Amino acid sequence: MKRIRCPKCDEAILFDETQYEPGRVLVFSCPACSKKFRLRIPDKAASAARESDDEPTVYGHLVVLENAFHFKQLIPLVAGENVVGRLVKGTKANAPIKTVDPSIDTTHCVIQVKPRPDGTARFILRDGPSNTGTFLQNELLSDRDRVDVRDGDIITLGATTVILREGCDGEEE
């Protein structure tokens, strides 16, 4: 089952994408606001051909836990600065969270990924600065704090909890 969101009211709509052939365009009508919108079922072979070797290496993921504001998400972390924030068109967030949570700023925090020669990476967290603060393991970060984050550490952004997972699979244990 695939979950999509209405572009007007952000209502979640579930459908079984396996029932449709790749490339087909589906038309949905939101049950909450009656907005009609289209969705193209991705062609996995075509998208795999577009994805080439120039994609950045993923060193870890942020696992965004499902809550009242959004569904579970995996946000890849690449080398350099990963600006984490609420997904809004035109923001600087390159690691956006799809949410309607008003307590997450559009540039809430930054996770800097520094690759090591052995293929692992160092993750450094700092606040954006944000209006509601960034917490690591229930400790509020000041605007000047730069802290190391490790696999399994809990980061709280407003009313949203994320967990850092090192490695490229992003799966929880």
Q: Report pLDDT digits (tens) over 66-101.
A: 787 778 899 999 999 999 999 888 888 899 999 888
Fold observed for domain 58-166: Tumour Suppressor Smad4 (2.60.200)
What are the residue boundaries of the structural domains of the chain, listed by start? 2-50, 58-166
- Provide the pLDDT confidence category of residue 173 given band limits of 50, 70 and 90: very low
pTM for this structure? 0.67
The sign of the torsion formed by the CA atoms of 37, 17, 65, 67 equals positive
Distance CA 105, CA 93 (A): 10
- 8 Å CB contact between 149 and 123: yes
pLDDT in tens, 91-150: 888 999 998 888 999 999 999 999 998 889 999 999 988 999 999 999 999 889 999 999
pLDDT in tens, 38-71: 888 877 655 555 555 567 889 999 999 978 777 8
Distance CA 90, CA 79 (A): 22
